[in-house]
Amino acid sequence: MREIAAQSLLPVNVTLAVVLVVLLLAAATVAAVSRLSPDGSRGRAREIAVAGVRATVQLAAVSLVIGWVVHHTAALFGFLLLMFAVATRTAGRRITPNGTWWWAAVPIAAPVVPVVAALTLAGLVPVRGIAMIPVTGILIGGALTATVLGGRRALDELRTRTGEFEAGLAIGLLARDARLEVIRPAASDALLPGLDQTRTVGLVTLPGAFVGMLLGGASPVQAGAVQLFVLIALMAVQALAVALTVELVAHGKLHRDPPPDAPGTPGAAASGRAADA
């Protein structure tokens, strides 16, 4: 069965390498020609190329060490911590360039840790690398995506709608409540990718967990059950990640500039006027 599954996979040869290089160059070229960057530059093209190279190096390294990690509990938890640290920095630096980026650890850890712990205690995910690493990795990846999308949308909205935030302060709202009125609707869009993936699974796409189980010799029913578990768990993790990200932005913990109600900013002036009133 394993031989049949292996024969169904992509062959690792020169042809595959050439195809990957061509696809990566095509993606970078399209981004450059179309100037698919927030500032209209070709910066995203470079990011695509670097991401492709990094993925190659990282997967090569993981392929070399994963066989050892799965047999050593201490190494397993060390690898999981590394995954979490990289996800935190990636999400935080994508949201903000200042020192508040480390707050991204909260919406990534808070949903993932209890879910993985519950699955382990229930016996659904054994404490072995071959099961723990992919499941935890999928959940961390989902939390990362939701945190980035929610944080960026919230902070973008807060910057462009500062006047509405100040109006909220002027009528007596607390800074947190005034921010929530501005950022919550926009940040909720971070849930859409996960929702659409779940709603269209099996009709539009066959996700990786499903295909991987089939190639590994599992029955279609087993593969479907695993994929359903992944999708439901991801929705739970992403919902909590977005909610926590919104709260961090609303409390001014995660920001790009000084919080709008900080001393010396327009928000502080409006808050002061509201207090005087």
DSSP state of 218: -
Range of 47's domain? Answer: 1-69
* Residue 201, SS3 per DSSP: strand
Can you name the residues that pair with 201 across neighbouring β-strands? Answer: 205
Are 183 and 93 contained in the same domain? Answer: yes
Residuewise pLDDT in 10s, the chain (277 residues) = 444 444 455 677 888 889 989 999 999 999 999 988 877 888 889 999 999 999 999 888 887 777 777 777 788 888 899 999 999 999 999 999 999 999 999 999 999 999 999 888 887 777 776 778 888 999 999 999 999 999 999 999 999 998 888 898 899 889 899 999 999 999 999 999 888 888 888 777 666 666 666 666 667 777 777 788 888 989 999 999 999 999 999 999 999 876 545 444 444 444 444 333 3
Q: What is the pLDDT of residue 222?
A: 75
pTM score: 0.78
Are 87 and 55 contained in the same domain? Answer: no
Are 87 and 49 contained in the same domain? Answer: no
Q: What is the pLDDT of residue 39?
A: 79
Are 60 and 118 contained in the same domain? Answer: no
Are 260 and 210 contained in the same domain? Answer: yes
Last residue of some domain: 69, 85, 112? 69
Last residue of some domain: 45, 69, 93? 69
Please state the domain count of the chain: 2
Are 88 and 16 contained in the same domain? Answer: no
Q: What is the pLDDT of residue 263?
A: 42
Are 54 and 105 contained in the same domain? Answer: no
Are 102 and 44 contained in the same domain? Answer: no
Which long-range contacts link 206-209 to residues 24+ away (Cβ below 8 Å)?
207/231, 209/138
The torsion defined by the Cα of 93, 96, 100 and 106, in degrees rounded to 10, comes to -60
Are 83 and 131 contained in the same domain? Answer: yes
Q: How many CB atoms lie within 10 A of CB 271?
A: 24
Are 43 and 148 contained in the same domain? Answer: no
Are 159 and 219 contained in the same domain? Answer: yes
